[in-house]
Amino acid sequence: EDKVVQSPLSLVVHEGDTVTLNCSYEVTNFRSLLWYKQEKKAPTFLFMLTSSGIEKKSGRLSSILDKKELSSILNITATQTGDSAIYLCAVEPSRRKAAGNKLTFGGGTRVLVKP
């Protein structure tokens, strides 16, 4: 059974700080690891990391996949209050015939950025 564990469960930082979120996983036939940001409602997609794309960066957010350690980190630099959200990590196995993709999500990390 696929499994995803995120740490820490929550953290509080001040604007300008850097945060690092962790995601470790167990998945049969790994295809990708996905990061999402969830504010008040629906999760929104941030990054996808694969065996051929282990680093992604967008503005102040960046993520790295460590295939050997079966883990990933999400970094947010120069945090702003708008970064306050739950950050979700999910893993996806490789293609299964006649089946929709089945994402396994971690429990999320709640980040609160104070002014």
Partner 1 sequence: NAGVTQTPKFRVLKTGQSMTLLCAQDMNHEYMYWYRQDPGMGLRLIHYSVGEGTTAKGEVPDGYNVSRLKKQNFLLGLESAAPSQTSVYFCASSYSEWGETQYFGPGTRLLVL
CB 46, min distance to partner 1, A: 10
Residues 6+ away with beta carbon under 8 Å from 72: 22, 23, 25, 33, 35, 49, 63, 64, 65, 66, 89
Of residues 11 through 40, those in contact with partner 1 by CB under 8 A are 31-32, 34
Cβ-based nearer residue to partner 1, 90 or 113: 90
Residue 63 makes contact with partner 1 by CB under 8 A:
no
Q: In this chain, which of 54, 75, 105, 112 binds partner 1, going by CB under 8 A?
A: 105
Residue 101 makes contact with partner 1 by CB under 8 A:
yes
Q: Which is nearest to 8 in space by CA: 115, 112, 110, 103?
A: 110
Residue 58 makes contact with partner 1 by CB under 8 A:
no
CB burial class (10 A; 0-12, 13-18, 19+) of residue 65?
A: buried
Cβ-based nearer residue to partner 1, 100 or 115: 100
Q: Which is nearest to 36 in space by CA: 49, 46, 25?
A: 46
Q: Which residues bind partner 1 (CB under 8 A)?
A: 4, 6, 9, 31-32, 34, 41-45, 48, 88, 90, 92, 95, 98-108
